[in-house]
A = this chain, B = another copy of it.
Amino acid sequence: MKDRGLLIVLSGPSGVGKGTVRKAIFDNYSNDFDYSISMTTRKKREGEKEGVDYFFRTKEEFEKLIEEGGLLEYAEYVGNYYGTPLDYVNKTLDSGRDVFLEIEVQGALKVRGKMPEAIFIFLSPPNLDELESRIVNRGTDSDEMIQKRMKKAVEELKLIQYYDYVVQNDTVVNAARKIRNIIESEHLKVVRNLKDFTEIIEEME
């Protein structure tokens, strides 16, 4: 029997470039993990396939699933639901494959509560030292606007404490490589390999 796969959650502040980094990971590496397919109530677009791009469901079906606790996390966006189906994630993990989830920070916190054994990676803005001056020096903004954006940035950065790893998105290539390394290293942890060794040892004894 194969060991259960790892759930990898990539998240971080809005606008930090999560989608671009995730795409680089999936385009440039032959990965032995699956990108989690989301469920949505929005209409299927030309060329999109059920179970490939999304799991397409009606609003009623989606809300039933929410009630049954069948979603790892979900959110509403311009009148449509988007979420991660728990059943799909569990089946993939049970088959021994890793699942890669790229979601907003609020969703990531929910996943942390439900699947604490997952690996949480926080993608942080580059040049942290310059973050403050970049927010202040945009020029066109009112003081009130600056205060608001600063407050949001602080709130998002504070969430880092709920994560296992932090990767600065200095370049997409660097960030993707580091995330790939984290996943590989996690698989090398002794706790995830003890079973194999115990079997060999018992055979030899």
Contact = CB atoms under 8 A, between A and B. Distances in A.
Nearest to A182: B185
A188 B164 CA distance: 8
B122 A166 contact: no
Most chain B CB within 10 A, of A128, A131, A184, is at: A128
B190 A164 contact: yes
Nearest to A122: B190
A188 B131 CA distance: 20
Contacts of A186: 185
Interface of A is mostly: helix
21 contacts: A122-B190, A128-B197, A129-B200, A132-B200, A132-B203, A132-B204, A154-B201, A154-B205, A157-B201, A157-B204, A161-B194, A165-B188, A165-B190, A166-B188, A166-B190, A167-B188, A178-B184, A178-B185, A181-B185, A182-B185, A185-B186
Given A128-B197, A166-B188, A182-B188, 16 more contacts: A128-B200, A131-B204, A132-B200, A132-B203, A132-B204, A154-B204, A157-B204, A160-B194, A160-B197, A161-B190, A161-B194, A166-B197, A167-B188, A178-B188, A181-B184, A181-B185
Interface of A: 122, 124, 128-129, 131-132, 150, 153-154, 157-158, 160-161, 163-167, 178, 181-182, 184-186, 188-190, 193-194, 196-197, 200-201, 203-205
